[in-house]
Structure 1
Amino acid sequence: MANTTGSKKSLRIGIMLEAVQLSDIVGVDIFGNLSRGYMDEVKVLDPSIAAFEEHAVDMEFFYIATTLEPTMMVPGLNFTFQPNVTYDDCPRDLDLVLIGGPTPAHRPAQADKFIKEAWLKTRVWITTCIGSAWLASAGVLEGRKCTTNKGFLGTVQQMYPDTEWLHQRWVVDDKPYDGPDGKGELWTSGGAGAGIEMIAEYCLKNFSRDFVTALALEALEFNPAGSRGQFYSS
Structure 2
Amino acid sequence: MASWITAAECEERFPGWLAARGENGWRVDVAKRCISSRFGFAEVRVQLNQDGTPAFDRVVCGEAPNINAVAYYVKDGVWYIGVTFQVRPFADLAYGVPADPPIKFAQPVMGFRDKIVGKVASAVFESAPEGAKREVLEEAGVNDVMSIQSMGQHWGNPTGPLVTPTDLLEIQVNPESIDTSKLDREELIYKCEYLSTSELVSRIASGEHDGVNYRASVAMNTFFVFFARHPEALAQATS
Q: TM-score, normalised by structure 1?
A: 0.25
Q: TM-score, normalised by structure 2?
A: 0.25
User: Higher helix fraction: Structure 1 or Structure 2?
Assistant: 1
User: Higher strand fraction: Structure 1 or Structure 2?
Assistant: 2
